[in-house]
């Protein structure tokens, strides 16, 4: 199966302390470039999260964000902070001495004082298990999104290869006739230039010309590269770099075909091939 390097997924769940969320974004990259942004209270889970992602993704620039949104604590999850109460009592006593007419603190005022109510620390084992579950769910979603995008990219690349095959099949039969016509035209120009009908000299010049304009090798290599592209698409897996290399080789052969073109039709075909190859390469660069 072909996978794209572009995808997005998010997974979240509620805990007694609040909401845990894991967000994954990925775009194309030559290698696996993982950027982790983890909330401070979850920093200890970063190595496990990195291991989960690198085990399932091979390429792409991946932005992984794990964050915690604290909610309203459930009854029994909060406790009084003795140190904060002692400090508040000291301040209240000093205030009563300075302002004898000031009213006493009410219980509600005390509970609202910053630091008086303390929350228990996150349960590390339970949090780790929850994050691992979120990680598996988010990675499953991300891989599914990348697979859907990869299928579309593979279809586009396959269409470009089919179109290039079609153009070559139209031009290939014209090559021998085009070369023969061009050679005859060149022979006449040589006769006019050298002012004689030295057939031996003309044949020698035409032989050199034939070597420079023979495009059979380029047509064969193009067809071979088409086969390799289709074989890579059928095999699937991490074939993005392989396909990118083949796109470069196709472009090289198309350039050579253009430089050897003996007729306008062959030249136009080479230019069309270059356009199709460039369209193919744009898609290939997003394949894992």
Task: Please give the DSSP secondary-structure letter assigned to residue 215.
Answer: -
Task: Please give the DSSP secondary-structure letter assigned to residue 121.
Answer: P
Whole-model pTM: value is 0.70
**Helix or strand or coil: residue 155?**
helix
Q: Six-digit token pair at 216?
A: 């059979």
pLDDT value for 199: 61
CB atoms near residue 257 (< 10 Å): 24
**Helix or strand or coil: residue 195?**
coil
CB atoms near residue 193 (< 10 Å): 9
CB atoms near residue 102 (< 10 Å): 11
By the 8 A CB rule, do 124 and 44 touch? yes
pLDDT value for 104: 76
d(CA 269, CA 261): 9
Q: Which of 8, 135, 133 is nearest to 60 (CA)?
A: 8
Q: Six-digit token pair at 282?
A: 């744009």
Q: Six-digit token pair at 64?
A: 């992984």
The CATH number of domain 7-73+124-146, selected from 3.30.420, 3.30.230, 1.10.10, 3.40.1350: 3.30.230
| Residues 6 or more apart in contact with residue 199 via CB below 8 angstroms | none
Q: In sequence order, what are the beta bridge partners of 23?
A: 10, 65
The DSSP-derived string for 53-115 is: HHHH--SEEEEEEEEEEE-PPPTTSEEE-HHHHHHHHHHHHHHHHH-TTSPPPPHHHHHHSTT
By the 8 A CB rule, do 73 and 119 touch? yes
Q: 240-260 vs 264-284: helix axis angle to the nearest 10?
A: 170
pLDDT tens across the length of the chain (288 residues): 899 999 999 999 987 777 889 999 999 998 999 999 998 878 888 999 999 999 999 999 999 999 888 764 444 456 667 777 777 788 778 877 777 777 777 777 776 777 666 655 556 788 888 889 999 999 999 999 999 999 999 999 999 999 999 998 888 777 666 555 555 555 555 556 565 555 665 555 545 454 445 677 888 899 999 999 999 999 999 999 999 999 999 999 999 888 877 678 888 888 999 999 999 999 999 999
First CA to last CA distance, the chain:
10
How many residues would you count in the chain? 288
């Amino acid at each position: 199966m072909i996978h794209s390097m572009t995808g997005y997924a998010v997974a979240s769940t509620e805990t007694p302390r609040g909401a845990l969320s894991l967000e994954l974004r990925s775009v194309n990259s030559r290698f696996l470039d993982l950027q982790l942004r983890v909330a401070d209270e979850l920093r200890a889970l970063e190595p496990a999260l990195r291991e989960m992602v690198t085990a399932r993704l091979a390429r792409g620039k991946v932005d992984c964000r794990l964050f915690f949104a604290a909610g309203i604590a459930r009854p029994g999850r909060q406790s009084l902070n003795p140190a904060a109460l002692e400090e508040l009592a000291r301040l209240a006593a000093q205030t009563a001495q300075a302002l004898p007419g000031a009213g006493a603190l009410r219980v509600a005022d005390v509970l609202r004082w910053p630091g008086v109510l303390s929350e228990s620390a996150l349960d590390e084992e339970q949090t780790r298990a929850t994050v691992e579950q979120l990680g598996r769910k988010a990675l499953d979603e991300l891989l599914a999104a990348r697979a859907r995008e990869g299928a579309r990219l593979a279809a586009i690349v396959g269409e470009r290869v089919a179109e290039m095959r079609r153009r070559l099949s139209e031009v290939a039969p014209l090559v021998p006739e085009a070369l023969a016509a061009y050679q005859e035209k060149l022979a006449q120009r040589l006769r006019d230039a050298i002012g004689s009908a030295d057939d031996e000299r003309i044949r020698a010049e035409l032989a050199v010309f034939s070597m420079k304009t023979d495009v059979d090798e380029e047509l064969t290599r193009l067809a071979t590269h088409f086969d390799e592209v289709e074989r890579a698409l059928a095999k699937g897996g991490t074939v993005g770099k392989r396909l990118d290399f083949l796109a470069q080789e196709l472009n090289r052969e198309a350039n050579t075909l253009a430089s050897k073109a003996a007729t306008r039709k062959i030249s136009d075909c080479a230019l069309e091939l270059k356009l199709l190859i460039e369209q193919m390469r744009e898609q290939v660069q997003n394949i894992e």
